[in-house]
Structure 1
Amino acid sequence: MRNPKDFFRPLAAGAPEPIREIPFRPSRMIHFFDPSNEKMAAKVPDLAKKVDIILGNLEDAIKAENKEAARLGLVKIAQSTDFGDTQLWTRVNSLDSPWVLDDLTTLVTEIGDKIDVIMVPKVEGAEDIHYVDRLLAQLEARAGIKKPILVHALLETARGVANVEEICSASPRMQGLSLGPADLAADRRMKTTRVGGGHPGYLVRQDPIDGDIEGQRTTYQQDLWHYTIARMVDACQANGIFAFYGPFGDIKDVVACEDQFRNAFLLGCVGAWSLHPVQIDIAKRVFSPEPADVAHALHVIEEMGDGTGAVMIDGKMEDDASVKQCHVMVDLAKQLSARDPELAATYGFADA
Structure 2
Amino acid sequence: MKTPSAFYQPLAIGAPLPFRELPISLERMIHFVPPHVEKMRAKVPDLINKVDVVLGNLEDAIPADAKTDARNGFIQLAKDNDFGSTGLWTRVNCLNSPWFLDDLLKIVPAVGDKLDVVMLPKVEGPWDVHYLDQLLAQLEAKSGLARPIMIHAILETAEGVKNVEAIAAASPRMHGMSLGPADLAASRGMKTTRVGGGHPDYAVLADPEETGNARTAYQQDLWHYTVGKMVDACLSYGLKPFYGPFGDFSDAQACESQFRNAFLMGCLGAWSLHPTQIDIAKKVFSPDPAEVAFAKKILDAMPDGTGAVMIDGKMQDDATWKQAKVIVDLAELVSSKDSELAEIYGL
- Please confirm whether the aligned pair reaches a TM-score higher than 0.5, indicating the same fold: yes
Determine the structure 2 residue equivalent to 1:30. 30
Secondary structure at 1:194 match in 2: coil
Determine the structure 2 residue equivalent to 1:197. 197
Task: Provide, for residues 86-141 of structure 1, a one-character-per-residue CA deviation record: whole Å limited to 9, x for no partner.
Answer: 00000000000000000011110110001000000000000000000000000001
Note the 1:89-128 alignment, pairs <5 A. 89-128=89-128
Task: Provide, for residues 316-342 of structure 1, a one-character-per-residue CA deviation record: whole Å limited to 9, x for no partner.
Answer: 111110101000000000011011111
**How far has the Cα of 1:209 moved from its partner?**
2.5
1:75 aligns with 2:68: no
Q: Find the partner of 2:228 among 227, 230, 254.
A: 230
Determine the structure 1 residue equivalent to 2:216. 218
Task: Provide, for residues 193-252 of structure 1, a one-character-per-residue CA deviation record: whole Å limited to 9, x for no partner.
Answer: 000000000000011124x7x533222100000000011000000000100000000001
**How far apart in 2 are the matches of 1:304 and 1:168?**
34
Determine the structure 1 residue equivalent to 2:312. 314
Determine the structure 2 residue equivalent to 1:258. 256
**How far has the Cα of 1:48 moved from its partner?**
1.2
Determine the structure 2 residue equivalent to 1:243. 241
Determine the structure 2 residue equivalent to 1:293. 291
Secondary structure at 2:337 match in 1: coil
Secondary structure at 1:230 match in 2: helix
**How far apart in 2 are the matches of 1:135 and 1:12?**
9
**How far has the Cα of 1:309 moved from its partner?**
1.7
**How far apart in 2 are the matches of 1:73 and 1:305?**
51
Determine the structure 2 residue equivalent to 1:2. 2
Runs of 4+ with deviation above 3 angstroms: none
**How far has the Cα of 1:310 moved from its partner?**
1.7
**How far has the Cα of 1:24 moved from its partner?**
2.6
Secondary structure at 1:172 match in 2: coil
State the aligned residue count: 347
**How far apart in 2 are the matches of 1:335 and 1:80?**
27
**How far apart in 2 are the matches of 1:74 and 1:84?**
17
Question: Structure 2 length as normaliser, TM-score?
Answer: 0.98
**How far apart in 2 are the matches of 1:58 and 1:307?**
46
Where structure 1 has 5 or more consecutive residues not aligned to the other structure, the ranges are none
Determine the structure 1 residue equivalent to 2:268. 270
**How far apart in 2 are the matches of 1:34 and 1:76?**
12
Determine the structure 2 residue equivalent to 1:304. 302
**How far apart in 2 are the matches of 1:345 and 1:233?**
30
Determine the structure 1 residue equivalent to 2:50. 50
Aligned AA (1:237): L
Secondary structure at 2:30 match in 1: strand
Secondary structure at 2:83 match in 1: coil
**How far apart in 2 are the matches of 1:62 and 1:306?**
52
**How far apart in 2 are the matches of 1:313 and 1:70?**
55
**How far has the Cα of 1:268 moved from its partner?**
0.3
Secondary structure at 2:78 match in 1: helix
Determine the structure 1 residue equivalent to 2:206. 206
**How far apart in 1 are the matches of 2:299 and 2:209?**
47
**How far has the Cα of 1:312 moved from its partner?**
1.8
Task: Provide, for residues 264-302 of structure 1, a one-character-per-residue CA deviation record: whole Å limited to 9, x for no partner.
Answer: 000000000000110000000100000000000001111
Aligned AA (1:118): V
**How far apart in 1 are the matches of 2:309 and 2:45?**
50
**How far has the Cα of 1:303 moved from its partner?**
1.8
**How far apart in 2 are the matches of 1:274 and 1:95?**
24
Where structure 2 has 5 or more consecutive residues not aligned to the other structure, the ranges are none
**How far has the Cα of 1:84 moved from its partner?**
1.4
**How far apart in 2 are the matches of 1:73 and 1:309?**
56
1:138 aligns with 2:138: yes
Aligned AA (2:334): L
Greater mean deviation of Cα atoms: 41-50 or 94-103: 41-50
Secondary structure at 1:338 match in 2: helix
Question: Structure 1 length as normaliser, TM-score?
Answer: 0.97
User: Percent of aligned pairs with the same residue?
Assistant: 64
**How far apart in 1 are the matches of 2:59 and 2:181?**
16
**How far has the Cα of 1:188 moved from its partner?**
0.3
Secondary structure at 2:264 match in 1: helix
Secondary structure at 2:146 match in 1: coil
Determine the structure 1 residue equivalent to 2:86. 86
